[in-house]
Amino acid sequence: MTAKSALITGANRGIGFEIARQLADRGFLIWLTARNPQRGKEAVLKLMNEGRTVRFLQLDVSDPESIRRAAAKLAGEIARLDVLVNNAGVVLRGSDNILTVTADKLSDTFRINTFGPLWLTQACIDLLQSGSRVINISSGAGEICNGMSSYAPVYSITKTSMNAVTCQLAHALKPKGVLVNAVCPGWVRTDMGGPSASRSVEKGAETPVWMAADPNFRDTGKFFRDKKVVSW
């Protein structure tokens, strides 16, 4: 049997790297992507040296041309992508005040956190087939059901928008049998989450890995935390 394939964005460190590691351990052929080729190849080498099957693709999710190149290369290698994890995300310096944030910072954050996942899903559309899963790594910061805190306002808005993208893609891809969901990993000890965060990367990767690998997973258009559906 051919191994299942998974592409993960921003996988050179943090939660993305851990998702790549755990999915490789479950037998997936991993396409580890990173915007910086050196950092990406170092991450690939680390996983390969530990006996895992991992390939590298350069991919800057904020750049449609980089996305087009990566998707074309992928299509030359595989006929089906089983799992696409839109993990890359940023809280940009200088974007912490909603009243003064510049148009450039707003636009840069949206390109990475919201538009990139949409553009990449569009670019991979022919590879995503019945049973394929798109997993958008969102955040509790984007939840509006209980009102938002003032934490990282621009980041939060982009994650709310990512959740909306998730719903729209889920509708659009339902006839094709492609499942599209968002996941909040919790507060995780990474460069983004900081050292005081309550969760390890292993715990942060747990729900996306379950969603990618569980053969009985059938949901679409939902938002998950700790393997349970939560409100948007």
Ligand X SMILES: NC(=O)c1ccc[n+]([C@@H]2O[C@H](COP(=O)([O-])OP(=O)(O)OC[C@H]3O[C@@H](n4cnc5c(N)ncnc54)[C@H](OP(=O)(O)O)[C@@H]3O)[C@@H](O)[C@H]2O)c1
* Interacting residue ranges for ligand X, rule: CB under 6 A: 9-10, 12-16, 34-36, 39, 60-62, 87-90, 112, 137, 139, 184-185, 187-188, 190-193, 197
Decide whether 29 or 112 has the Cβ nearer to ligand X. Answer: 112
In the complex, what is the shortest distance from the CB of residue 188 to ligand X, in angstroms, rounded to a whole number?
4
Q: What is the CA radius of gyration of the chain?
A: 16
155 is a catalytic site residue: yes
Decide whether 27 or 199 has the Cβ nearer to ligand X. Answer: 199
Q: Return the DSSP state at 28.
A: P
Decide whether 5 or 190 has the Cβ nearer to ligand X. Answer: 190
**Phi/psi of residue 69, nearest 5 degrees:** -60, -45
**Phi/psi of residue 6, nearest 5 degrees:** -140, 130
In the complex, what is the shortest distance from the CB of residue 194 to ligand X, in angstroms, rounded to a whole number?
8
How far is it, in rounded angstroms, from Cα 29 to Cα 10? 17
Sheet with strand 223-225: strands edge to edge:
54-58, 29-34, 5-8, 83-86, 133-137, 179-183, 223-225, 228-230
Decide whether 82 or 143 has the Cβ nearer to ligand X. Answer: 143
Per the listing, tokens 């964005």 go with 9
How far is it, in rounded angstroms, from Cα 129 to Cα 47? 27
Decide whether 39 or 174 has the Cβ nearer to ligand X. Answer: 39
Report the run of H or E that residue 164 belongs to, with start and end. Answer: helix 153-173
Question: What end-to-end distance do the CA atoms of the chain give, in Å?
Answer: 38
Catalytic member of 115, 155, 223, 224: 155
Q: Which residues are catalytic?
A: 155
